[in-house]
């Protein structure tokens, strides 16, 4: 049933594993495959499939038609102007992810290198605690902070730092804040795990060779944590692109950014469904968004593969 594996040129670390075609291997893999098939693959295939259906008398009718896609692509730059919403989504997702990594990287570094080992797990749990609370409640909590008469503006006015309330609510900055709160625990966890796997002897070697702290960081730690940064970016981009709540509750559904006052693409999808209840067309729009996410994911995987 099992065999010993020896890797040429290396001392074998994995001694016992199921044989390639053993039944045990398939039994062990089965739960994961079944779970992913039922809760991920099947709904995804169904979503893509519905995109080819049509609507008759407010009812989705199975079939195969490219009408939804041709209509959507014909409105990419006119009428519904989906390209503008996709551009807004990408802009918000990219800037949010970049901010997330910039803010979370120092936190993960401090956790790894400044906090004693026995406290690291406790602090890590505290850092990801927000993840266990309802996302929608967190967004409404942010409303009470960011509103024109909210906590932040009241404080700024009391301190006489501003005379008029700073408008954050119903802008894409509001959207970003909501997304950052959602993403931070994920990014911190990924970066912490990557930094924890850094070979400490390399840091010692760098210091022995006379590297300053900055040089050790720039030439040893940062390159070694590059895969973590890439995967944090992939996570951040995919989650930001798919999120609809922050864009509506804090972004106002049509928040202002440097690109203009456009909704996010996810908001457009939700609104289209609400306005027309045209499930096939909405599925086609969602499939386009998933296609963009897949491109990001594959690019991320390729990038880390080339790194390794």
Partner 1 sequence: MNNQNMNSSNGSFWRSISRRRFIQYTSLAGLAAATTKLGSCAAPQEQSATTESSPAASPTGGGTLGVLTWAGYDEPEVIGKFEQENGVKVEFKTYVGGEQMLQFFNQSPPGTFDGIISDGEYVTKLMEMGAIDPLNTADFPEIANFSETYQKFPGFFQGEQMMAVGTRFGNYGIAINTKYIQPEEVTSWNFLTDPKLQGKVAFFDWYLPNMGNASMALFPDNPNPYALTDEQLQQVKDWLIKVKPNVALITPNIQDITNAFINESVIAGPVGDWLIQNAIADGKTNFTAIVPKEGAIRWSEGATLCSASNNKELALKWVQYMASPETQARVANAKAYKGIAPNLEAQDFMSDEEKQLLGYVPDQDNPDKTVVEVQLERTRARQLPVNQPEQAWQDIYNEFKTS
Q: How far is the CB of 46 from partner 1 (least distance, A)?
A: 9
* Cβ proximity of 296 and 234 under 8 Å: yes
Candidate list 92, 170, 221, 257; residue touching partner 1; CB under 8 A: 170
Q: What are phi and psi of 15, to 5 degrees?
A: -85, -40
Q: Is the CB of 13 or the CB of 160 nearer to partner 1?
A: 13
Does residue 26 touch partner 1 according to CB under 8 A?
no
Contact segment (CB under 8 A) with partner 1 among 75-83, 99-107, 156-164, 201-209 equals 75-83
CA angle 123, 126, 130 (to 5 degrees): 150
Stretch 231-270: interaction string toward partner 1, x if CB under 8 A = x--xx--xx-xxxxx--xx--xxx-x----xxx--x-xxx
Residue 157 interacting with partner 1 (CB under 8 A): no
Residue 211 or 256 with smaller CB distance to partner 1: 256
Min dist CB 210 to partner 1, Å, is: 27
Q: Are strands 16-18 and 2-4 parallel, antiparallel or unpaired?
A: antiparallel
The reply to whether 40 sits near partner 1 by the rule CB under 8 A is yes
* Residue 275 engages partner 1 in binding (rule: CB under 8 A): yes
Q: Work out whether 187 is an interface residue with partner 1 (CB under 8 A).
A: no
Contact call for residue 164 and partner 1 (CB under 8 A): no
Q: Which of 1, 4, 8, 14 binds partner 1 (CB under 8 A)?
A: 14
């Amino acid at each position: 049933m099992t065999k010993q594996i020896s890797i040429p040129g290396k001392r074998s670390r994995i001694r016992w594993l199921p044989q390639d075609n053993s039944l045990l291997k398939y039994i062990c893999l089965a739960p994961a495959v079944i779970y992913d098939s039922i809760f991920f693959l099947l709904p995804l295939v169904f979503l893509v499939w519905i995109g080819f259906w049509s609507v008759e008398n407010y009812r989705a009718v199975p079939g195969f038609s490219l009408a939804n896609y041709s209509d959507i692509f014909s409105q990419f730059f006119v009428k519904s102007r989906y390209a503008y919403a996709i551009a807004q989504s990408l802009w918000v997702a990219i800037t949010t992810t970049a901010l997330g990594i910039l803010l979370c990287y120092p936190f993960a570094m401090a956790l790894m290198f400044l906090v004693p080992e026995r406290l690291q797990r406790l602090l890590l749990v505290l850092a990801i605690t927000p993840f266990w609370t309802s996302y929608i409640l967190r967004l409404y909590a942010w409303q009470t902070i960011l509103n024109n008469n909210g906590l932040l503006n009241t404080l700024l006015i009391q301190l006489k730092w501003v005379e008029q309330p700073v408008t954050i609510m119903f802008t894409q900055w509001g959207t970003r804040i909501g997304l950052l709160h959602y993403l931070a625990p994920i990014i911190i966890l990924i970066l912490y795990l990557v930094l924890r796997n850094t070979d400490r002897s390399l840091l010692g070697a760098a210091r022995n060779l006379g590297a300053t702290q900055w040089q050790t960081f720039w030439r040893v730690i940062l390159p070694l944590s590059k895969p973590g940064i890439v995967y944090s970016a992939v996570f951040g981009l995919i989650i930001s692109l798919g999120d609809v709540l922050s864009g509506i509750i804090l972004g106002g559904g049509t928040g202002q950014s440097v690109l203009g006052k456009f909704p996010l693409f996810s908001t457009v999808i939700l609104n289209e469904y609400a306005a027309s209840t045209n499930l096939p067309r909405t599925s086609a729009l969602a499939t386009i968004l998933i296609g963009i996410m897949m491109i990001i994911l594959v690019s991320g995987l390729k990038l880390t593969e080339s790194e390794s």
